[in-house]
Amino acid sequence: MSTKFAALMVLHAAAMLSALTGAAQATEPTKVSEKTGMTSANLTLDEELSAVVNDNKHPLASLSVLAVRDGKVVYQQQFGNRFIDVANAANSKPANAETMYRIASISKLVTSLGVMKMVEAGKLKLDTDVGDYLGYKFRNPHFPNDKITLRMLMSHTSSLRDDAGYNFAEKIRLKDVLVPGGKLYEGAAESQTNSQTSGQKAWSKKGKPGALFSYCNLAWGVIGTVMERASGVRFDRLMQQLILHPMNLRGGFHPADMPCADVQNIATLYRKRSEINGKEVWDPSGPWIPQVDDFSAAPPAPRATTDYEIGSNGTLFGPQGSIRLSAPDLGKLMQMLMNDGKYHGKQILQKKTIDTMLAEQWKDNGKNQEENDEGGNNLFNAWGLGNQHFIDKSATKDGVGKGDRIAEAGGVTGVGHLGDAWGLTSAFIFNRKTKNGVIFLSGGPGFNPETTKGKYSAMYRYEERILDALYRRGVIGDAK
């Protein structure tokens, strides 16, 4: 490395650190475009993100982003199309500020806000045996004497796994799947993620509850069920009462319950891939293929809940990944968390509740993580209650990145969540002390993302490009 280049990198890293610590930072005068009214920094960031979306070899269907500096939204923009008409491009619909996305696992963080609201109200306790709420003994059969708590479920240390599926049909009760002796514990249970599964596969043999981290979607189905049992209200409606309505957020866990105008502004998620004979086949030169939320031909079907018993199967409503929200509304949640639970003068959650939720519950020590499909690449290094802690870990092996680094120059830490499902990838990351943060929601790749691994993190390369640009030009730069 040349002396000049090394010096530039030091200056870049210092700028990152300055943004995190809130230190004063000099900026050059900002020029405003007469044509657009945007600052030159905005134009540069627009161009950089547009280049990611419109990359000839690695295009994205759409992208919605937001950057927060010192607690204020300083940049938000959208690129690409929320709906793509393959037959007639003129009928495609661009993404806009109100476009909602099915945000995948960031839903877990939103669900956690509902849990903490119930904890605040005394309806739930983090360290109570969840079996007390469910009304039956809920234990890992390999460790029958160890209780399982909400704290464990929310920090992915409950010893539950996803090997039995995590999204079960209305007629299935979790008790029948997960409790030994249940009619589906050893038999085949229909689910929306597995055609056949056995409930006993859901339990880890490698470590008792509280001992090992294993990222688990099923845990959030249990959490949703506990919330229903404690409230007597269906999960999706309960979340409207607890969080969405008090903060005046559009969206929800099922499009059929939304106003027609909002449904029309939900992004269809795409990939240029199909499944042939059970194998994933990508065709970057082919058409965009809808994965979920394509309501162009027919409105969303109503949720089949005619015979549903509240508190029997919270997986039905997708607490782990099915909420639809826009980037600006996620920005409101981020600002609320940054401001000790307050948003626009209204106390949504108490400061001590936020303290508890964001406090570290688990940290990797090299021996306490059960490797699974999303582990083993240093992406998960610490965890709170429904939120990942990004500790700025980075490594490269055989040209492939590992770790949770957010910005290429390093020096950026935070809490939040990532999402990855149906082609969408997403990120919600902020630093509570400095009140800086970034959000992105992408509508799906036109290429196999596995062929473009990250350079310095376990994320895909296009995710790295988006996050790094947002931090360099949005959080650090002048993007007012």
pLDDT confidence band for 477 (50 / 70 / 90): confident
> What is the pLDDT, as a whole number, of residue 10?
37
Residue 186 pLDDT grade (very low, low, confident, very high; cuts 50, 70, 90): confident
Q: How far apart are the C-alpha atoms of 25 and 6, rounded to whole Å?
A: 21
- Say whether 414 sits in a helix, a strand or coil: strand
Q: Which residue has the higher pLDDT, 398 or 224?
A: 224
How far apart (Å, rounded) are the C-alpha atoms in residues 476 and 438?
A: 11
CB 147 within 8 A of CB 122: no
| Position 198 confidence tier, pLDDT thresholds 50, 70, 90 | confident
Task: Supply the DSSP symbol for 28.
Answer: P
The answer to whether the beta carbons of residues 216 and 295 sit under 8 Å apart is no
**What pLDDT does residue 20 have?**
42
pLDDT of residue 33: 33
**What's the CA gap between 318 and 374, in Å, rounded?**
19
pLDDT band at 108 (very low <50, low <70, confident <90, very high): very high
Please give the single-letter amino acid code of residue 461.
R
Terminal alpha carbon distance of the chain: 35
Query: Has residue 478 got a pLDDT over 90?
Result: no
φ and ψ of 202, to 5 deg: -75, -15
- Evaluate if residue 438 carries a pLDDT over 60: yes
DSSP 149: B
Range 201-224 average pLDDT? 96
Mean pLDDT of the chain: 89
Number of H helices, E strands in the chain: 12, 19
Res 196 pLDDT > 60 = no
Give me the half-sphere count of Cα atoms (radius 13 Å) on the Cβ side of residue 8: 5
Q: CB atoms < 10 A from the CB of 208, how many?
A: 17
Q: Give the pLDDT score at 189.
A: 55
- φ, ψ for residue 111 (rounded to 5)? -60, -40
Structure confidence by residue, pLDDT tens digits, 327-381: 999 999 999 999 999 999 999 999 999 999 999 999 999 999 986 544 569 999 9
* Greatest alpha-carbon span in the chain: 71
Which of the four pLDDT bands, split at 50, 70 and 90, describes residue 188?
A: low
Q: Which of the listed ranges 128-142, 189-203, 304-318 does the model predict with the highest average pLDDT?
A: 128-142
Q: Over the range 13-38, which residues count as b (16 or more CB within 10 Å of their CB) and which as e?
A: bebbebbbeeeeeeeeeeeeeeeeeb
Predicted confidence (pLDDT) at residue 387 exceeds the cutoff of 70: yes
Q: Which residues contact 175 (CB under 8 A, 6 or more apart)?
A: 134, 136, 182, 312
Among the listed residues 291, 282, 150, 310, the one whose alpha carbon sits nearest the alpha carbon of residue 219: 150
pLDDT at 29: 29
Q: What is the pLDDT of residues 38-96, one digit of tens each?
A: 444 456 999 999 999 999 999 999 999 999 999 999 999 999 999 999 999 999 999 99
**What span, in angstroms and rounded, lies between the C-alpha atoms of 165 and 261?**
33
Question: What are the structural domains of the chain?
Answer: 113-244 (3.40.710.10)
Torsional sign, CA 411, 416, 419, 424: negative
